[in-house]
Amino acid sequence: MKRILNTETTITFLRHGVVENPQEILYGRLPGFGLSVLGKKQIIATGQELAKMNVSQIYTSPMKRTRETSTILGKILARVPKVSFLLNEVCLFCQGITTREYHVRVQQNLYSEKNYNKGQERIEHIFLRMKQFVKLIVKKHPGVHVVAVSHGDPIMILRALSSGIEFSWDYKRRNYLQTGKYITLRVKSDGKYVWNP
């Protein structure tokens, strides 16, 4: 009888550090927008924490802010980051407006049928691509610890929906992941997700 190994894959989802954005633009997938001095300091501190966790691989969204984050981590952890478009920022229909306008007029109803019709990426699509990333990591890196550098909404949508929770505005404002912080997912051998914290 063939023995089935009891493997558990760990994925730490890290949100990039604070971005240099003096004009307070909702940048979304716009080019540019790298880390600020504070953002770089955040990631150095986070990297020192992760250095104690035996990380085998780093993956990153293609955005400048996440690539800069993963580059800092890579130097600390002695790992070469790989880009995955599955980890990309949400495709925002309203990128380029000021963050003030976004907070006042859009934020609470970002994921609505009205905005989907304007080109806003749907929650369901974001969830599916993030799940696809997890599936890929479990297949390619079973039983080890991987860091995935991504963005607030994709990470929190994955956590909420995989836990059977609606990703609502109320959930988002109460649970949102701050810049430079991370949450960890353990994928059991049976495919079950266990989040920490």
CATH of the domain at 67: 3.40.50.1240
Q: Please indicate, yes or no, if residue 169 is contained in any of the structural domains.
A: yes
- Tell me whether residue 99 is in a domain: no
Q: Are 162 and 126 spatial neighbours (Cβ–Cβ below 8 Å)?
A: no
Q: Is 143 domain-assigned?
A: yes
Amino acid identity, residue 151? H
Count of structural domains, the chain? 1
Helix 64-77 × helix 37-50 angle, to 10° = 40
Which stretches of the chain are assigned E, i.e. beta strand?
Answer: 9-15, 57-60, 82-83, 145-150, 182-187, 193-196
Domain housing 127 = 9-24+34-91+121-196
How many angstroms separate the CA atoms of 128 and 125, rounded?
A: 5
Is residue 97 domain-resident?
no
- Rounded Cα–Cα distance for residues 86 and 61 (Å): 7
Q: How far apart are the C-alpha atoms of 18 and 34, rounded to whole Å?
A: 9
Instruction: List the chain residues with pLDDT less than 70.
Output: 1-6
* Structure confidence by residue, pLDDT tens digits, 84-129: 999 999 999 999 999 999 999 999 999 999 999 999 999 999 999 9
Question: What type of residue is 133?
Answer: F
62 preceded by cis ω (within 30°)? no
Which pLDDT score, from 0 to 100, does residue 7 have? 86
Report the chain's terminal Cα–Cα distance, integer Å: 38
Residue 126 lies in a domain: yes
Position 149 in a domain: yes
Q: What does the pLDDT read at residue 40?
A: 98
